[in-house]
Each structure stands twice: as C-alpha cells, then as structure tokens.
C-alpha cells in the first residue's frame, strides 16, 4: 500500500516534469512556480537527487539582479494562464512575474543536503546555491522591511501563496478596481469557479500588478507605493526558518559570514514575531502595516508559524488551537477555521486543507517535541490522498478533492511523509 502510493506520487511528479523544472499541474498552471518548485524538489530528492538540485538551480537561474526570486517563470509560452508575461512586462530575458513567493528554498536546500547520498554532488550544488539564497533573504529585509522591524511585508496577496485568504479582505478593499484594463480569466476554464477567487478579487490583483508595472518593478519603490502592505506571520515564519536552515548549511560549507548574517536576521525575526501573538485567538495574526493594526482573522497563516523556532510555550498553544479547530472538521488543518463566519469549505484558501502547509506545520511541531499533533496532521494528509487522490487542495469536512488534479507538490509531500516515516 505504502509503496503503491509512493509510485503513484512519483508518476504525478514525472508527468509534470518539464526536464529542468516542474509545472504545478498541467493546464491550470503551465509554468514554474517558486515555492511549488522548492517543495517539489523534496519529493524528487527521494528518487533522483540530481533532479532535485536541478529544480532549485533552475529557479535561482532566474533570480533578479537585485536578489528577488520571482513567483512565476514563464519558460514556454502558454495562453492558458492569465496574467501572462505581457501583463507583467518585467523585462527579464526569460519572462517572469514581478513579485515573489514564500522563501522555502533555504529550508529545502538544507533538507536535501542533509539527506543526500551523493555527498560530492550535494556539496557542489549547495555551494553554488548558498550565496543566491542568501541574497534573496537579504533582499527581503532590505526591500520589504524599510523601517527595520525584523518582519517583512508582502505587497500582493499572491506573494503569500495563500491568494484569497480571508486575512486580506479588509486591506484589499483599499486596492481600487478603477482603471484596470479589461481581461479574461483563464483559471475558471480549468477549475470550478466556485472554488476560485472572485472576479472582484481578480480585478484588485491586476490593479496592483499594473501599479507596480508603472513603477518599472523597482523594488526600492514598490513597498512604500503599495496600498497593500501585509505582515503575514506564516510567510515570516518561512523566511525565519529558511534563514536558520541556511545558517546551518553555511556552517557545513565553512561560509562563516553567511552563517552569522543568517542567524542575525532569524533572531531579529523571531523576537519581532511576538508582536503578532493574540491571546484571544491563541495564535499569531497578520499585521496590516498600511494602517498599523493587527488583522482580526485567525487563519492558518498564524498557525504556520510553528514552522519557525518559536518558543515552546507558543508551539504548545498552537497545538491547543489546532485541537480546538479539529472539533469542527474531519481533516486537519483547514486554511480558515470552520467556526468563523467567513469559512468556505471548498474555496481555495478560505477553508480547504493544503498538504504543503500541513507538512510545514507538522515539521515544526515535531522539532518542538509536539509529536502527537504532528503525527495526527500527517495521518490526515494520508487519509486525504487515499480518499481523493493528488488534488490541489481538499474540503476539510468531507475530504472532497478541489482545484487542479495530479498536483506536483501534493505528490511531493506524500513522498516526503511516507519515505520519512
């Protein structure tokens, strides 16, 4: 059974493999996505180490000169996706989008390095990637934390990877819809429109793209010019964890300066994360930097913080929080709690379960010694796979498969969970 599931997961990854990068799924997402690739590399590492390194290398081959790693790389033209390269107009040799995504690559690189059987290959590849990943981390603190608070902001909901989370609703109302050039969505041709973001949200997504484009994608200007500046605890937790992990990798490779700088960014971030803790919700919350207030939306972003080395007492509280949420759903961990009025069980990031987020939460809880909850979350992932296959995401009440099918990172997470157990 276990081997059969691993074989099926491999087949999904191989189907979506384009040689030097993978697409998240055919049709709906026909290009390379940033955090999809980094997490998918973990899956490849179990059956083809060289291919795992290639996935990361390809991603970083398209890093911008300022250090940013874009959220989409448009390797081959495909008009099945909107917004395509002509809308972004970022003027890169191989077209890319102009925003970024959660920086999981530092975490993935260390994990693949630590487990590698081919030590020479791993050392060579990690050596080449190390300064690039570090440049990306430094880019975040230089461009997305201009006041040097220790935490970075995202300036577009797509950067969070949790595109239409309830967390953004209120702040998103400040993003205008006037002046958006007419467009035709393509995502709803591939997936059920009731499971996707609304047209209103799409207009605002595109308004921000147009705004940044008129500023020539100059990252020294975009943060302050954006009406949307959101400090997402989950995103920051990923960045902090990636800095901690990159420091370990740098230690292994004898790169003392990178190790020291990475540790310093991480410890400042961990201390600053405390300002996002909510006693009332027993979890972390987003901070809307444009208005200077916490966002009263207890979504999974504040639970994903378990991925970072937060204090043990916080990890214990998060376990209690997940336990409370579990009283109202069948599968952990819903992206928005069923107890909340905005919860929508099948709409993208407003309720459904995503295996990648589950994997990161479980990983952090395991390190914090919260083994029971970590095991429970992983079990739910496997139950979902057995019931509904390798979907993009799943309904937390009945395990229904949603969004795209044959999804690369879902398959990669299953290989990770099964091979490591």
Q: Which residues are catalytic?
A: 163, 392
CB of 168 or CB of 284, closer to ligand GLC: 168
Asked if 274 contacts 265 with a C-beta cutoff of 8 angstroms, the reply is no
CB of 192 to ligand GLC, least distance (A): 15
**Six token digits for residue 205:** 């997504």
> Looking at beta carbons only, is 64 or 348 nearer to ligand GLC?
348
Nearest residue (CB) to ligand GLC, 113 versus 393: 393
CB 360, min distance to ligand GLC, A: 12
Answer whether 74's CB lies under 8 Å from 95's CB: yes
What's the start-to-end Cα distance of the chain, in Å?
A: 14
Give the nearest distance from C-beta 101 to ligand GLC in angstroms: 6
237: tokens are: 């937790």
Q: How far is the CB of 184 from ligand GLC (least distance, A)?
A: 18
Neighbour-count burial of 291, counting CB atoms closer than 10 A to its CB (0-12 exposed, 13-18 middle, 19+ buried) = exposed
Q: Which residues bind ligand GLC (CB under 6 A)?
A: 24, 29, 33, 35-36, 161, 163
d(C-alpha 112, C-alpha 131), whole Å:
17
Residue among 258 and 413 whose Cβ is closer to ligand GLC = 413
d(CA 230, CA 272): 15
- Ramachandran sector of residue 205 (left: φ over 0; alpha: ψ -120 to 50; beta: rest): alpha
Closest approach of ligand GLC to the CB of residue 14, in Å: 18
**What number of other Cβ atoms are within 10 A of residue 183's Cβ?**
12
Q: Nearest-CA neighbor of 166 among 383, 390, 348?
A: 348
Least Å from the CB of residue 28 to ligand GLC: 8
Cβ burial 207-226 (10 Å sphere, 16+ → b, else e)? bbbebbeeeebebeebbeeb
Decide whether 36 or 49 has the Cβ nearer to ligand GLC.
36
Among residues 232 and 370, whose Cβ is nearest to ligand GLC? 232
Residue spans of alpha helices (H) in 253-354: 256-273, 312-326
d(CA 178, CA 191): 27
What is the distance between the alpha carbons of residues 95 and 72, in angstroms, rounded to a whole number?
9
CB 35, min distance to ligand GLC, A: 6
Give the residue with the Cβ less far from ligand GLC, 70 or 150: 70
> Between residues 33 and 394, which has the closer beta carbon with respect to ligand GLC?
33
């Amino acid at each position: 059974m276990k081997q059969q599931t691993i074989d099926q997961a491999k087949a999904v990854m191989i189907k979506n493999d384009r040689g030097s990068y993978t697409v998240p799924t055919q049709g709906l997402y026909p290009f390379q996505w940033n955090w999809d690739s980094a997490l998918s590399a973990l899956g490849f590492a179990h059956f083809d180490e060289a291919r795992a390194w290639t996935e990361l290398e390809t991603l970083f081959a398209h890093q911008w000169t300022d250090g940013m790693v874009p959220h989409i790389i448009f390797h081959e033209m495909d008009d099945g996706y909107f917004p395509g390269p002509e809308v972004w107009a970022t003027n890169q040799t191989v077209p890319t989008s102009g925003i970024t995504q959660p920086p999981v690559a530092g975490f993935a690189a260390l994990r693949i390095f630590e487990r590698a059987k081919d030590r020479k290959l791993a050392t060579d590849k990690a050596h080449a990637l190390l300064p690039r990943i570090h440049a990306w981390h430094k880019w975040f603190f230089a461009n997305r934390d201009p006041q040097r608070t220790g935490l970075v902001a995202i300036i577009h909901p797509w950067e969070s990877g949790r595109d239409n989370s309830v967390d953004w609703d209120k702040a998103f109302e400040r993003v205008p819809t006037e002046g958006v050039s007419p467009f035709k969505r393509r995502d709803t041709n591939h997936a059920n429109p009731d499971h996707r973001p609304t047209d209103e949200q799409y207009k605002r997504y595109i308004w921000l793209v147009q705004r940044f484009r008129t500023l020539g994608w100059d990252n020294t200007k975009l943060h302050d010019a954006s009406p949307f500046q959101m400090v997402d605890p989950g995103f920051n937790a990923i960045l902090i964890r990636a800095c901690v992990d990159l420091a370990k990798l740098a230690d292994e490779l004898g790169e003392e300066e990178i190790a020291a700088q990475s540790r310093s960014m991480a410890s400042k971030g961990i201390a600053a994360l405390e300002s996002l803790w909510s006693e009332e919700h027993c979890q972390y919350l987003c901070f809307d930097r444009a208005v200077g207030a916490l966002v009263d939306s207890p979504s999974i972003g504040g639970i994903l913080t378990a991925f970072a080395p937060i204090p043990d007492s916080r990890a214990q509280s998060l376990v209690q929080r997940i336990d409370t949420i579990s009283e109202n759903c069948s599968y952990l961990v819903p992206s928005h709690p069923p107890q909340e009025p905005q919860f929508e069980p099948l709409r993208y990031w407003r309720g459904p379960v995503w295996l990648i987020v589950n994997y990161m939460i479980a990983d952090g809880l395991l390190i914090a010694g919260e083994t029971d909850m970590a095991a429970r979350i992983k079990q739910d992932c496997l139950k979902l796979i057995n019931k509904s296959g390798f979907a993009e995401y799943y309904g937390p009440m009945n395990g229904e498969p949603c969004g795209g099918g044959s999804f690369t990172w879902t398959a990669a997470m299953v290989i990770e969970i099964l091979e490591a157990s």
